[in-house]
Structure 1
């Protein structure tokens, strides 16, 4: 079975080695042949523009779709790069195109971030005052994750609820700072991109969704 992962820098595994990416971990768990179609900085719209080349041309059986971290980013006060209605429409179009090619889709919600302040983490790169309605960047991300859930429900697409899995991990005593790049663990005030531990949590969540919805078997 061949599985493609279609998304942004989180899927690409930016700042990590290939063996730390969730797709590599899924390949080890299930024995998949894989295609990493993650491109740093990409929105759903940019993904659609390269869909044929980066996904369809490889003829995967399943495509993991993981966008949103760039779509929600505000480019002016309360103005997202991809307005949420357009985001929903883009996801629905990705699902439509995948199904037209007989490729099974799996949608993913978005991991939480560390908002921080103007000196570090998310707000060191994005002005805090631009995120007011709803209040705060994490609230915007939560809204986009809810949009993913809505598309999954309406189109009956399997869902890997990354946001929920991470929140449960935190509620059980895990630390968000261990899952994301921080000064503590990488020397970088990022707060957005997963560490190897964060990618492992992605792999667990996506892997469980794959096992629940598709005829896959553990290879180990």
Structure 2
């Protein structure tokens, strides 16, 4: 079996060792060959441009994880990739993977630490640009809902990372243990995953993949 992860810096495993990434952990668990096609800063639109490089790899399973860059406001109330375009892009990616004989698996988006102008998400993206709905996390939630809609419409399996994380947070897991922070890495990041965050991705994806008896 060949597993390909198509995504952004979350998939790529920014700021952690390869052995700590969720793709590596899945490969080890199932004994599959793994290709990490995550690219820092990538959006679903950029992924369309790279599909011609993914198709020859003939993935049996292709994890599709975008949205963390698509939703970002580039000016007041304007996302980098509008929601409808984001959904159209995901639909095209799923269709292309299916045509190669692979199983596309869509992933929703984990929550962030919003912070303020002095640190974390809003130190890089002006808070006042996130107006409707109010706040970056609500924009992310809207894009996760868009992923769910595409999964339902296309029949692609859904790894609902957002919901899985929400459940773990309600159980007492701290978001500050799952995301890079000043305390665990010296960086006010609040977006990228710690090794424990990657563990949670792998656990969510494993539950889905086990249910498909892969």
| Structure-1-length-normalised TM-score | 0.96
Question: Which residue does 2:14 correspond to in 1?
Answer: 14
Structure 2: gaps (5+ residues): none
Counterpart secondary structure, 1:50: helix
Superposed displacement of residue 100, structure 1: 1.2
User: Is structure 2 residue 32 aligned with structure 1 residue 32?
Assistant: yes
User: Is structure 2 residue 3 aligned with structure 1 residue 3?
Assistant: yes
Distance 1:182 1:21 in 2: 17
Distance 1:178 1:62 in 2: 29
Superposed displacement of residue 118, structure 1: 0.1
Superposed displacement of residue 168, structure 1: 0.6
Question: Which residue does 2:115 correspond to in 1?
Answer: 116
Superposed displacement of residue 35, structure 1: 0.6
Residues 194-216 of structure 1: per-residue CA shift (max 9 Å, x gap): 10000000000011111112x32
Residues 4, 63 of structure 2: 8 Å contact kept: yes
Question: Which residue does 1:128 correspond to in 2?
Answer: 127
Superposed displacement of residue 51, structure 1: 1.1
Counterpart secondary structure, 1:24: helix
Residues 68-104 of structure 1: per-residue CA shift (max 9 Å, x gap): 0000000001100000000000000001111111111
Residues 20-46 of structure 1: per-residue CA shift (max 9 Å, x gap): 000000011111111100000000000
Structure 1: gaps (5+ residues): none
Distance 1:23 1:133 in 2: 34
Residues 121, 189 of structure 2: 8 Å contact kept: yes
Aligned length, in residue pairs = 214
User: Is structure 2 residue 23 aligned with structure 1 residue 43?
Assistant: no
Question: Which residue does 1:97 correspond to in 2?
Answer: 96
Residues 12, 40 of structure 2: 8 Å contact kept: yes
Distance 2:152 2:29 in 1: 27
Distance 1:191 1:57 in 2: 35
